[in-house]
Amino acid sequence: MARKKIPSIDELRDYREKQEAYLQDCIKNHKTFVITGPKFQGENIWVAKSTLPLMEAAKEVGASFEEIWQLCRKLATLTHAPITKKEYERMIPFSKKPHTVDTVLQFLETNIPQYNHKRHCLDFDIVAYFYCYALISLSDYRQEDCQKQLWYAVDDFMERDRNMAMVLLRNMKVLEPIRPFLTPMKEKLEKATES
């Protein structure tokens, strides 16, 4: 069963709903939940928690699904939030595409973690979330809007989740040498995380 085409938002929703229904049935009826390899090529992209919200954001801003699918494909391969400069630089090609930046800004504005440590790791793609912050940190397109979103994240994380603030601080520290506008954000996060 090969799926070469980019799925529609409805197809992604249906797929996710069926997966969730299967999982809930297993839990409710004490069945064994079997994790197998992918059933079709690219299933890891369909399953990624960030794919559907990114595709919905693409629709809202009028971005090409093909362009955003490429970002989703990349994000689905990543296993942890960016740490090294090389890992952050994975987002450079995407940061140069205006429609991708528009989509990511929309995604970050509407796809906010619930700050419930027991569940957000299951319901939220934290890896993609921080790669999206790397992407807007690297973008020269809509820089004012990107900075506004970064400042929002700085303030929100400082208030609600210091652990996430530390990951964002790493973003600022690694990228500051090439993105000097991140310096005040880095300094604010450093002060907040020292206490």
Is 121 a residue whose pLDDT tops 60?
no
Is 130 a residue whose pLDDT tops 90?
yes
pLDDT in tens, 73-87: 999 999 999 999 999
pLDDT at 183: 97
Q: Which residues contact 166 (CB under 8 A, 6 or more apart)?
A: 193
- Burial label, 139 (beta-carbon count in 10 A; 0-12, 13-18, 19+): buried
Residue 136 lies in a domain: yes
Is 1 a residue whose pLDDT tops 60?
no
pLDDT at 120: 46
pLDDT at 106: 98
Residue 7 lies in a domain: no
Residues spanned by the domain of 190 = 82-194
pLDDT at 155: 94
Is 140 a residue whose pLDDT tops 70?
yes
Residue 176 lies in a domain: yes
Is 123 a residue whose pLDDT tops 70?
no
pLDDT at 74: 97
For residues 54 and 68, is the Cβ–Cβ distance under 8 A?
yes
Residue 24 lies in a domain: no
Q: Cα(108)–Cα(130) distance, rounded to whole angstroms?
A: 10
Residue 18 lies in a domain: no
Q: How far is CA 40 from the centre of its chain?
A: 23
Q: How much is the pTM?
A: 0.89
Residue 37 lies in a domain: no
Based on the structure, what is the number of domains in the chain? 1
Q: Is 181 helix (H, G, I), strand (E, B) or coil?
A: helix
Residue 101 lies in a domain: yes
pLDDT at 63: 98
Residue 12 lies in a domain: no
Q: How far is CA 59 from the centre of its chain?
A: 17
pLDDT in tens, 14-68: 998 988 898 888 889 988 877 777 777 888 888 889 999 999 999 999 999 999 9
